Amino acid sequence: MTEVLLVAHHDRMEAAALARSAATWLAEHGHTAWMTPADAEPLDLLDLVSERKPESAGLALSLGGDGTMLRAIKLLGGAPVPVIGVNVGLLGYLTELEPPALIPALERWSAGAVAGEWRIEERMMLDATVQPSGRCEFLAVTTLPVPAPSAPTTGVSPPLPCSMLPLPYELPE
């Protein structure tokens, strides 16, 4: 039996439906799915609330976009917990799956790495504080937000003081 942490986007009802679907499938297959109170409450999934520590999970499911994936990684606090990312957000650069692939992915995961034909892909993480024009703290996976006042902040309202730019990026002097 594996304990699975569910981390879902708070404003996407599709994320709530996927969390419910995953929790049901996992329970039917002998696993336990749970959410932190901060994730379960906005989605009205209170029956999934647990006070367990996120880093105690054997697997985490991130149900959202890149922001949800980063939040899941931050919740795990560096613990070596595999994360399966399902894209129900806007970008999905960090997620691997689209919603219809969630249950087949859980079936493959449950079968084990050899039978399910999967492997863990480790990604480099960067935890940075950038201070040229103010203080910005970020956790980044493959990208790092840096101060760039002239960069567009499409889809963000109000505009953020920092924008996502691909690495490598040199800060202006």
Catalytic residues: 66
Mapped onto helix, strand or coil, the DSSP state of residue 77 is coil
Within 13 Å and on the Cβ side, how many CA atoms surround 95? 29
Q: Dihedral (C-alpha) 136, 62, 10, 22: value to the nearest 10 degrees?
A: -170
Residue 164: beta bridge partners? 145
CB 61 within 8 Å of CB 6: yes
Residue 126: beta bridge partners? 140
Question: CB within 8 A of 83, min separation 6: which ones?
Answer: 59, 60, 61, 62, 69, 72, 73, 76
